[in-house]
């Protein structure tokens, strides 16, 4: 089960995990000295998949970068609400 928290450090640690994914394995494929149509289509498909997954990773990473700022806002709100109702953090 995932731990839910409005703690800024927790959000930053979670978002940092996406940076580790990176583009380690985004390699293109090519066929040399072959004219077999199916192999060429497979190469194009493989290259298209690499591009698609790269775009997906980039989009997820952009969203993950927003998490710490959102967590900071929620943490501030929680502290304010806690103080307002006489509690302690």
Nearest Cα to Cα of residue 82 among 2, 3, 67, 74: 74
Q: Which residue has the tokens 């929680």?
A: 78
- The structure tokens listed for 36 are 């077999």
What tens digit of pLDDT does each residue of 54-64 get?
A: 999 999 989 98
Q: What is the pTM of this model?
A: 0.48
Cβ count within 10 A of residue 37: 8
pLDDT of residue 2: 47
Residue 8 near residue 71, CB atoms below 8 Å = yes
What tens digit of pLDDT does each residue of 12-54 get?
A: 676 676 666 655 555 666 655 566 787 788 888 899 999 999 9
Confidence class for position 83, pLDDT limits 50, 70, 90? confident
Q: Which residue has the tokens 């900071």?
A: 72
Q: Is the confidence at residue 78, as pLDDT, over 80?
A: yes
């Amino acid at each position: 089960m995932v731990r839910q928290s409005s703690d800024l450090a927790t959000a930053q640690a979670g978002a940092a995990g996406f940076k580790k994914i990176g583009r380690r394995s985004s390699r293109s494929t090519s066929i040399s000295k072959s004219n077999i149509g199916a192999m060429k289509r497979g190469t194009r498909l493989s290259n298209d998949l690499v591009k698609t997954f790269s775009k997906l990773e980039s989009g997820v990473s952009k969203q993950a970068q927003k998490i710490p700022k959102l967590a900071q806002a929620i943490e501030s709100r929680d502290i304010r609400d806690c103080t307002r109702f006489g509690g302690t953090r």
